Amino acid sequence: MSIFVAPTPAPKPKTKDVHKIALFYAAILVVMGVAQLFTFDTFLALVASFGYPGGEPVAYLLAALLVSLEVFALPFLLRMAISPAFRWVSMVAGWSVAAIWFVTSTWLVLTSAAVESIGFLGASVPIMPGWWAIFMSLSFGILAAWASWGMWPGKKRRGIVHQRG
């Protein structure tokens, strides 16, 4: 018995489409993460201009958390050999990215914030917020849910046996 966690191979995907969906979502996260990290100093200022309750400290924390979660979601989506616990963490990171973008885009639409970009591609490419951004964030959630369904890291149950008492 070793005290070190051993990496395990990813479970077999349920369908071929699930693997393609996961790779597509991973590609989106890589493009977004690289663009946000490329202009991280201006990305921080952009997120701070969203007017979150809590001011700049909350905005800076959210921006750093968002980029970190985009990176941590990749091992699950790319089916890397990682520990079972980190596979769960990586899967939840993919969900969290979609949730944070949904909350952010909804916040910007509902508060009618006057910002020049939503920040999907950092501060390098100005993309105006709007209802389309909410639907884009929902599509991130659909991609994350589809990938999670098809590559669920838990043990598969054969069936539930009911006992009469």
Phi, psi of 8 (to 5 degrees): -120, 150
Tens digit of each residue's pLDDT (9 = 90 or more) over 115-155: 888 989 988 888 888 899 999 999 999 999 999 998 988 77
pLDDT of 99 higher than 90: yes
Phi, psi of 163 (to 5 degrees): -105, 140
Burial degree of 1 (CB within 10 A; 0-12, 13-18, 19+): exposed
Tens digit of each residue's pLDDT (9 = 90 or more) over 35-65: 999 999 999 999 999 888 888 999 999 999 9
Q: For position 78, what pLDDT does the model report?
A: 94
DSSP assignment of the chain: --SSPPPBPPPPPSSHHHHHHHHHHHHHHHHHHHHHHHTHHHHHHHHHTT--TTHHHHHHHHHHHHHHHHHHTHHHHTT--B-HHHHHHHHHHHHHHHHHHHHHHHHHHHHT---S---TTTTTS----SHHHHHHHHHHHHHHHHHHHHT--SPPP--PPP---
The arithmetic mean of pLDDT across residues 100-109, rounded, is 93
Provide the residue ranges of all domains of the chain, joining segments of one domain with +: 16-149
Q: How far apart are CA 67 and CA 37, in angstroms?
A: 7
Q: How far apart are CA 29 and CA 160, in angstroms?
A: 37
